[in-house]
Structure formats: C-alpha cells, structure tokens
Amino acid sequence: MMRRTKPNALGKLLLVLILIMAFISYHLFSDLPLGQLPIEFEVAQGSSLKHTAAKLKQAGVLETEWSFVALARLTGKATQIRFGNYLLDKPISRYGLLDMISEGKTDQSQIQIRIIEGTTFKDLRKLMDAHPKLRHDSASLSEAELLQRIGASEQAAEGLFFPDTYYFSTGSSDLAVYKRAYHTLRSHLEAAWEQHDPQSPLTSPYEALILASIVEKETGKASDRPMIATVFLNRLKRGMRLQTDPTVIYGMGETFDGNLRRRDLTADTPYNTYTRYGLPPTPIALPGLESIRAVMHAPQSKELYFVAKGDGSSHFSRSLIEHNQAVRQYQLRK
C-alpha cells in the first residue's frame, strides 16, 4: 500500500502545480476586463510602481493592483516604467500592459509624439503637420476652428497643450493628439490651482498659465524656476513692470531676427512688458509642469531682479543697486 501511495501523492502534487501554472498563465496572458475603449491613462514622471498600479486601477485598466506589481517585480521590469500619456484602443493582457509601459509602446502600429517644454503653438503645429503617421485633419483649420474642434473654450491656443510624450496608433487624427494634450494641461493646471498660494496676485488659472510660460522661457537652470517665479510675482504685487525679454520677442513675431535691440524694448506691443504693466494677454509658450508648480508654490522672498550668470543659472537681487552690480559682473565683463 505504501508503494502505491507515493506515486499517487506525487501525481496529485504535479496536477496541483499544473493547475497553478495554468491559472497564472491565464491570469497573465488573458485579456483584461476593460470597459469601453479607448481608455486613456497617464504614467506621471517619477511615479513609483505602486502609484502607477493605483492609477491604472483608477483609470479602469486593472481590477487589482497587487498582481500587476508582483508581475513587474518578478519580470524585472519594476524599475523600467516609462512616463507618458498612453492610449488603449484594443484588448490587452496584464503582461501586454506591462510590456507597453516598460517599452513605451504597445506594438508596431503605435507612434510616439513628444511635445517639448518651452516650444510655441506655432512649433507644435509644424510638428503635427510634418508627422508622417498622423492623419492631418487640422491642416486646413484656423486656430479658432482647431480650438472649437477639440472643445477648448479659450480664444488663443498658445500655452494650452501640455508638453509630454503621447502614444497613438498609426493613422490617428492629429486632432486627437491636440485634444489629449489640451485636457492633460487643463487637468494639471486645475489641480495645481487648487493648492496655489491665496496671497498670490494671480486671479485665475489662466493668469498662472501665462506667468508659467514666462518662467519656462526665462529659466536656464531648473533649480532657478521657483525664484524666477518669485521675482515676477513680487513685481506684480508691487505694480512694477515685468520687463522680461521673452515676451518682447514673442510679440515681435516673424520680425525677430535673433538679436534683441534697444529699440525693440521701447516699441510697444501687447506683449512688451517693458512698456506695459501686468501680464501679457496670452501665454508665450507651452510651459511644463515644473514651471506651473513654481508659479503656484513660489517661495516667499524679497528678490525683485535677476540676471543670467552665463552658465545657465541666475543671480537674484533685492535692490536695483545690487542688480546693476550683478549686470556689470556677469554680462558686461570682458
């Protein structure tokens, strides 16, 4: 009897192992029970694996977080998650989803579109129009018509599209890219505005967006963003002109030849912050999330001036005397 029991016990154990492996394989490679497609979701830069899994569950992509986290760790892909905005337009398994966000794509039909911080809406249109794998439905549309087609309520398109990496299927409409970038911007802007400093001179999220675009263009070193934002906010509080070159250049449009002259600083346009007080009428570029956050959470300080030091960083001053000394030191030196 004992001789018969051992083979039976081994057979049962083997059967159990086979069933477990079959269950795991089914769990990993069967399609996720997704709702109505397409589903858009974002993997934010710097997100942890657990935070990413939680966001995927919130977006309706995952039923449970733990199995996806375990899969990522077992396959060694836990540290390979790539940030960006993703689109699920067909069924996918848990393993396929992990492969998608660790490789930054789903399959060969997926295309990547990267919108860079600090570029303008004009630059963005050129990028879209030149992309060979997009359907160019916006090519014949005016700026106002484009905004209307994506459901935007603003009158000007500048600054309204969030700089990020977006993934789409080949043949997708460029209007779909614009729409996702617009809604991503609105989401980040509104979330940041809810936590903004109540003592700020800014009166609306759109004003914050305008200032964030200026901070984006003025920043040479990322760590200087908060202080640059502080300088401009302090100037607005005191009723001083912003006096920032990037707004003047933007207002010059096609006439700017790469050299900003004294006469340009005195030629009045709606964007000349040397001749006009307050903010310009629209953003001057597409600001990134760090510039938006810098404007919303600028440190308390008394600096009113800054000057480029020549190495990408800036020197900040509280008085005009100190500022003029810094200008002589960093910009007029031979």
pLDDT of res. 60? 83
d(CA 310, CA 115): 27
Look at residue 243 and tell me if it is in a domain. yes
* Digit-coded pLDDT (tens) for 220-239: 889 999 999 999 999 999 99
pLDDT of res. 213? 97
* Digit-coded pLDDT (tens) for 25-67: 555 667 777 777 777 777 876 778 888 888 888 888 888 888 8
Look at residue 291 and tell me if it is in a domain. yes
Residue whose token pair is 């933007």: 250
Look at residue 281 and tell me if it is in a domain. yes
pLDDT at 244 over 70: yes
pTM higher than 0.85, yes or no?
no
Beta pairing partners, 169: 110
In angstroms and rounded to an integer, the radius of gyration of the C-alpha atoms of the chain is 26
pLDDT of res. 107? 46
Structure tokens at 229: 């934002």
CB-hemisphere CA count at 13 Å for 282? 15
Amino acid identity for residue 334 in this structure: K
Look at residue 235 and tell me if it is in a domain. yes
* Digit-coded pLDDT (tens) for 88-134: 777 888 888 888 888 765 444 567 889 999 999 999 999 999 999 89
**Structural domain harbouring 234:** 200-330
Instruction: Single out the residue of 109, 107, 111 nearest to residue 92, CA to CA.
Output: 107
| Percentage of the chain lying above the pLDDT 70 cut | 89
CB-based burial label for 194 (10 Å; 0-12, 13-18, 19+):
exposed
Look at residue 24 and tell me if it is in a domain. no
The phi and psi torsions of 279 (rounded to 5 degrees) equal -85, 155
More confident residue, 151 or 17: 151
Amino acid identity for residue 101 in this structure: I
Structure tokens at 287: 């600001």
Structure tokens at 160: 């309204």
Number of domains observed in the structure of the chain: 1
Kindly report the number of other CB atoms within 10 A of residue 14's CB atom.
10
CB 117 within 8 A of CB 283: no
* Digit-coded pLDDT (tens) for 146-169: 999 999 999 999 999 999 988 887
CB 252 within 8 A of CB 270: no
pLDDT at 307 over 80: yes
Look at residue 103 and tell me if it is in a domain. no
Whether the ω angle into residue 201 lies within 30 degrees of 0, i.e. cis, is no
Look at residue 194 and tell me if it is in a domain. no
Amino acid identity for residue 194 in this structure: E
b/e map of 145-162 (b: 16 or more CB within 10 Å)? ebbeebebeeeebbbbbb
Look at residue 52 and tell me if it is in a domain. no
d(CA 157, CA 175): 13
Amino acid identity for residue 59 in this structure: A
For residue 111, give the H/E element and its range.
Answer: strand 110-114
